[in-house]
Amino acid sequence: MSEAESALPSSEPRAGVGADASPDAEVVVEIRKLWTVFGSLDGEQVVHRDLDLSIQRGEILSLVGGSGTGKSVLLRQILGLEEPARGSVRVLGQPPTHMSVTGAANVGMLFQHGALFSAFSVLDNIAFPLRELKLLPDDLIRDAALVKLQMVGLGPEHASKSPADLSGGMIKRVALARALIMDPPLLLLDEPTAGLDPEGADSFCDLLRWLHRELGLTVVMVTHDLDTLFDLSTRIAVLADQRVIVCGTARDVIAHPHPFIHEYFLVGRGRRAMEALHEGVTPPAAVGQPGGGPPPSFER
Amino acid sequence: MSTAPPLTADAQDADGALPRVDLREQDGREWAVASGRWTVLGMCTPSAWEALSVNLQVLPVREDRAWDLRPIAQLDHIGAQLLWDHWGQAWPARLEMAARHKAVLDQVAQYTTVAPPETPASLVDRFYHFAHGGLRNGMHVAQDFLRLIGQLALDLGRLIRAPQRGPWRDFSGQLYQFGATALPITALVGLLIGVVLAYLTSQQLRLYGAETFIVNILGLSLIRELGPVLGAVLIAGRSGSAITAQIGVMRVTEELDAMRVMGIPPGFRLVMPRVMALAIAMPLISMWTSIAALVGGMVAADLSLDISPSYFISALPRVVPIINLWIATSKSAVFGVLIALIGCYFGMKVKPNTESLGRGTTASVVASITMVIVVDALFAVMFKGVGFRS
């Protein structure tokens, strides 16, 4: 812990890190002094150098960065799919590689293309982590899977379909239901709205916001879609120069003088999305009313 | 939920404990008091689950029983689902619970539905679908395969008209892939089969004192039948599956469509070079396999029957007419064309999902091996009077 303390009084303008951490805020993911190194034929390539990041319970944190800055690698390290070269990752106080069969109760992951098991029906896909416990009765599992299927806005008539018969938006919803079947407190999303049409992306964002509120989730997502970014995030972490250059609310991030942030948010596409922000729209996730309301349904 | 519910001291310190239900008497009522962690993590050890299900079994739902869920430390959807199913998917008459748990139970109550019934197909239906679908599929396969052969003929015509525009690089690459890299495995298998066959027949021949006939038996069977078939089966498993997987992946990733959009016909660019490469590589592989098997047989004959290699080599041309070699070579070329065409056919039929890719590859190997055996039988019948010394 001494190295964490020594890292704090650095002179860099880290707007968000720890700023909004109230004394009772619980750290769900803690990344300390993380190094990621890829070996290649022409020498080693350092992707992350002394990267620090902590994610508090209940927030929606977006990871942003140019391609090759290791956003997806960071997600995989949080999941324990990859080991960092140096440094530590702790999820809910444990190294992520220590999670076993009940891993689905700790972390849920929505992969970019859903990663549904193509040999199973929709319902079997959602029920898979529970069935693998080989303990709970099948009736209970089926009921629980049907509840989750409807919570992501799909009707029970889709339960017996196979993943090949689903549209892109439906695949993402089923994958989300599968990720949430054991009610994990932490949900990771890799490009949640990539490949969806604007309407589908909007309704998926509504669904994520609703689930975040209803289930009290902590969400970490990687996204390139600026609409999604400003729509959902409570905090944004920007990866550049092999570390997190700034982590804070959208306004804090945009105020940061780094050239990447200027390029990303204030030129072209970014500017258009920013105009919406300057019209005074705050991220609705922060102002949402707890409880009530059905999940945003999915009509297609 | 107006009257004061019973809250006992020992139920409150159940934080982190196993999920359980206790029965208490208070206000002249029976209260079922649930406590502990009602989460999937709390329930998922065998002992905890066993205890909880016994616990619930002795507490069936009754009209006059009230439920107190406030001592529950944690409740997730699985725990709530368990309670809801235990209540027969209806709210009990009296219920006390914390607001945060109420929200979870509300969701479960709202979304629990009966799964739409899956009508299991009757035996007659299944038979009808099997027979009908099988027949129709067979027709489709025959039609598509015929189309593939026709397309190949057209592509070959196009190649002859403009040979300088043919896919020669791909052709030579495939020739290396299918031919040169298959040499070690076919040699090994051929050698061992030759040894096995020689030992097996030498036992029988010695009974009749006809040891020298081992050259006739090995020469004819290996050159005419076993070499080509063995080589073809190995190549079908090795290269047929590779062709299907390669073209199948190209189809899954829409590379075939991209090629078509550029005006490059996949038949000309992908199917034809593979067919030509296998048509040339297959006879060479079959001859190579035969040679390896003959060497194996020769060594085994020397060891078990004292037939010297020099006698074996000098006797071979006398007992095996040269026409057998031509039959074997032409047969192998046909095998090669069939394996490549079947591999391409199943590759083109792959649907854009992983399951279909696996099924296509399996089907390709099974179909091409079957086809090799069938065509071999046809050749045997057609040339039954050719190539034997009377």
Q: Are A248 and A235 in contact (CB under 8 A)?
A: yes
- CA atoms of A111 and A75, how far apart (whole Å): 10
Q: In chain B, whose CA is at the least distance from the CA of A164?
A: B353
A42-73 exposure pattern, b = at least 16 Cβ within 10 A, e = fewer: eeeeebbeebbbbbbbbbbbbbbbeeebbbeb
Which residue among B49, B78, B111 places its CB closest to the CB of A151? B111
Query: Distance (Å) from the C-alpha of residue A219 to the closest C-alpha of chain B?
Result: 18
User: Which pLDDT value is given to residue A46?
Assistant: 85
Q: Are B228 and B335 in contact (CB under 8 A)?
A: yes
User: Which pLDDT value is given to residue B32?
Assistant: 85
- CA atoms of A298 and A157, how far apart (whole Å): 13
Strands B20-26 and B29-38: antiparallel
User: Which pLDDT value is given to residue B1?
Assistant: 40
- CA atoms of A285 and A60, how far apart (whole Å): 8
User: Which pLDDT value is given to residue A277?
Assistant: 62
Q: In chain A, whose CA is at the least distance from the CA of B47?
A: A135
Q: Are B174 and B273 in contact (CB under 8 A)?
A: yes
Of the candidates B80, B2, B102, the residue with the CA atom closest to the CA atom of residue A292: B102
CB contact under 8 A, B44 and A163: no
List Cβ neighbours of A89 (8 Å cut-off, separation of 6 or more): A29, A30, A31, A32, A34, A77, A78, A80, A95, A96
- CA atoms of A7 and A50, how far apart (whole Å): 10
Summarised one tens digit per residue, pLDDT across range B71-108 is 888 888 888 888 888 888 888 888 888 888 888 888 88
CB contact under 8 A, B113 and A105: no
Q: Are A286 and A212 in contact (CB under 8 A)?
A: no
3-state secondary structure of A116: coil
Tokens read off for B73? 């430390």
Q: List B residues 301-320 in contact with A (Cβ-Cβ < 8 A).
A: none
Tell me, what amino acid is at A238?
V
- CA atoms of B296 and B201, how far apart (whole Å): 13
Of the candidates A260, A203, A263, A194, the residue with the CA atom closest to the CA atom of residue A231: A203
Q: What are phi and psi of A281, to 5 degrees?
A: -85, 120
Let me know how long chain B is.
390
Tokens read off for B56? 């619930």
Q: In chain A, whose CA is at the least distance from the CA of B116?
A: A157
User: Which pLDDT value is given to residue A273?
Assistant: 64
Q: What are phi and psi of A152, to 5 degrees?
A: -90, 10
> How many alpha carbons fall within 13 Å on the CB side of residue B35?
17
Residue with tokens 């806005």: A153
| Cα–Cα distances in angstroms (integers) from residue A153 to residues A128, A171, A220, B347, in the given order | 19, 12, 21, 37
- CA atoms of B58 and B53, how far apart (whole Å): 9
Tell me, what amino acid is at A175?
A
User: Which pLDDT value is given to residue A276?
Assistant: 63
Identify from B45, B111, B119 which residue to disrupt to test chain A contact, counting A C-beta atoms within 10 A and taking the largest count.
Answer: B111
- CA atoms of A19 and A32, how far apart (whole Å): 17
Show the CA angle centred on residue A206, arms to residues A204 and A211, nearest 5°.
Answer: 95
- CA atoms of B21 and A254, how far apart (whole Å): 53
Helix axes A122-131, A138-151, angle to 10 degrees: 120
Summarised one tens digit per residue, pLDDT across range B3-61 is 444 443 343 334 457 888 888 887 777 888 888 888 888 888 888 888 888 888 888 77
Identify from B113, B119, B253 which residue to disrupt to test chain A contact, counting A C-beta atoms within 10 A and taking the largest count.
Answer: B113
Identify from A99, A125, A134, A147 which residue to disrupt to test chain B contact, counting B C-beta atoms within 10 A and taking the largest count.
Answer: A147
Q: In chain B, whose CA is at the least distance from the CA of A154?
A: B111
CB contact under 8 A, B81 and A160: no
Q: pLDDT tens string for chain B (390 positions)? A: 444 444 433 433 344 578 888 888 877 778 888 888 888 888 888 888 888 888 888 887 777 788 888 888 888 888 888 888 888 888 888 888 888 888 888 888 888 887 767 666 677 877 877 777 777 788 888 888 899 999 999 999 999 998 988 899 999 999 999 999 999 999 999 999 999 999 999 989 999 988 889 999 999 999 999 999 999 999 999 999 999 999 999 988 888 888 888 888 888 999 999 999 999 999 999 999 999 999 999 999 999 989 999 999 999 999 999 999 999 999 999 999 999 999 999 999 888 777 788 889 999 999 999 999 999 999 999 998 888 876
Task: Sort A40 into a burial class: Cβ within 10 Å, 0-12 / 13-18 / 19+.
Answer: exposed
Q: In chain A, whose CA is at the least distance from the CA of B81?
A: A144
Beta bridge partners of A43: A40
Query: Distance (Å) from the C-alpha of residue B108 to the closest C-alpha of chain A?
Result: 6
Alpha-carbon B95 to chain mean position: 54
Query: Distance (Å) from the C-alpha of residue A134 to the closest C-alpha of chain B?
Result: 9
pTM, rounded to two decimals: 0.69
Strands A243-248 and A235-240: antiparallel
Summarised one tens digit per residue, pLDDT across range A253-283 is 888 888 888 888 777 666 666 666 665 544 4
Beta bridge partners of B24: B31
CB contact under 8 A, A140 and B78: yes
Per-residue HEC secondary structure of B308-332 comes to: CHHHHHHHHHHHCCCHHHHHHHHHH
Residue with tokens 């020992």: B10
Within 10 angstroms of residue B360's Cβ, the number of other Cβ atoms is: 24
Q: Are B229 and B372 in contact (CB under 8 A)?
A: yes
Of the candidates A2, A297, A3, the residue with the CA atom closest to the CA atom of residue A150: A297
CB contact under 8 A, B78 and A183: yes
User: Which pLDDT value is given to residue A13?
Assistant: 35
Beta bridge partners of A40: A43
Residues of chain A falling short of pLDDT 70: 1-25, 41-42, 98-102, 268-300
**B77: which chain A residues are within 8 Å (Cβ-Cβ)?**
144, 147-148, 183
User: Which pLDDT value is given to residue B112?
Assistant: 83
Q: Give me the total of CB pairs closer than 8 Å, taking one residue from chain A and one from chain B.
A: 79
